[in-house]
Amino acid sequence: RIVRDGGAFVWPFLQEPACLSLEPIPVEVDLDQALTSDGIRVHLPTSVAVAISRDPDRLSTAVDRLLALSTAAIGDLARRIVDGEMRQIIGTMTITELNCERDRFQHQVTESTAASLRKIGLEVVHLACGDLSDYDGYIQAIGQRAAAEVILAARIEVEEMQRQSDVRSAEV
């Protein structure tokens, strides 16, 4: 029997009371060595907050599956689920997609993780991904290339403006 927001009489020797906190549980997922679809290993720290669902059906599921677990054990279970879902999604994306389409990636992770956690009576309260990094220097190389292209474009623009200024000066 589940009692929320109140009390109930417990028959000694026949019933045993147990509590399951509905407070959010912070979970840190330090995703390491995840392989992208183009074969690059990445590191992506993620913060997640999960909680026991307040929906009556899911609450019943949580009681059945999580009541015997401590808060730390529930957090560890959630961490493993989020880690697995993130690895699966990262495996379908290139590193460029991960780097450029962070909102889409985070949305996919949230949806996929929520569906998996729902099966054990948990729900995602919050999910935030940290800075993406890789072990091969690919992201740094992309940044350097982009910076070099901007610098080159600026130099060409300055030279063009100087040339136009010289032409105007010669005309006068």
Q: How confident is the model at residue 61 (pLDDT cuts 50, 70, 90)?
A: confident
Give the bridge partners for 63, in sequence order: none
Model confidence pLDDT, tens digit, residues 86-141: 999 999 999 889 888 889 999 999 999 999 999 999 999 999 988 888 888 777 77
Q: What ranges make up the beta strands (E) of the chain? A: 25-35, 41-52, 122-129, 133-134
Predicted local distance difference test score (pLDDT) of residue 122: 92
3-class DSSP state of 34: strand
CA distance 109 to 61: 22
On the 0-12 / 13-18 / 19+ scale of CB atoms within 10 A, 117 is buried
Predicted local distance difference test score (pLDDT) of residue 62: 84
- Whether residue 30 is predicted with pLDDT greater than 60 in this model: the reply is yes
CB 35 within 8 A of CB 47: no
Predicted local distance difference test score (pLDDT) of residue 8: 62
Predicted local distance difference test score (pLDDT) of residue 111: 92
Q: How confident is the model at residue 146 (pLDDT cuts 50, 70, 90)?
A: confident
User: What's the rounded mean pLDDT across residues 28-43?
Assistant: 90
User: What's the rounded mean pLDDT across residues 55-82?
Assistant: 87
Residue 64 CB partners (closer than 8 Å, separation 6+):
121
Predicted local distance difference test score (pLDDT) of residue 171: 77
Average pLDDT over the chain, rounded to whole? 85
Rg value, the chain, Cα? 26
One-letter amino acid at 84 equals G
Residue 106 CB partners (closer than 8 Å, separation 6+):
127, 128, 129
Model confidence pLDDT, tens digit, residues 151-168: 888 999 999 999 888 888
